Amino acid sequence: MAGVFRSRALSLGIGHGAYDCALKYSKERKQFGKAISDFQAIQWKLADMATELDAAWLLTMRAASMKDAASRLRRNLLWRSSTPVRFAVRCANESVQIHGGYGFVKDYRRRSFIAM
């Protein structure tokens, strides 16, 4: 069971790292005279990332609470175990999309979220 919680924690960390990099980059990058974070499409991507990360955190906390209470853990834990991982992968992919071509350059930190 400990491995499940470790993978969730790692996934949350990766997702938050990708989100933080995307948020910072979107505020720095200028296009058409303004930051790309001002464009609605980027705002939607960032909002979706934040929402999914929050949901993954809540699912992880709920599973930990269920483990502490030892209540029907197996059945409920199985379908929740992959959700934070999927959210982290989606956040990493969205981060690469926000970074554009820089998302694939190995010299940039955000590439490390995908290259794992």
pLDDT tens digits for 78-90? 556 677 888 888 8
3-state secondary structure labels for all residues of the chain: CHHHHHHHHHHHHHHHHHHHHHHHHHHHCEECCEEHHHCHHHHHHHHHHHHHHHHHHHHHHHHHHHHHHCCCHHHHHHHHHCHHHHHHHHHHHHHHHHHHHHHHCCCCCCHHHHCC
- In this prediction, residue 7 carries a pLDDT of 80
- Predicted model pTM: 0.79
pLDDT at 48 over 90: yes
Q: What percent of the chain has pLDDT over 70?
A: 72
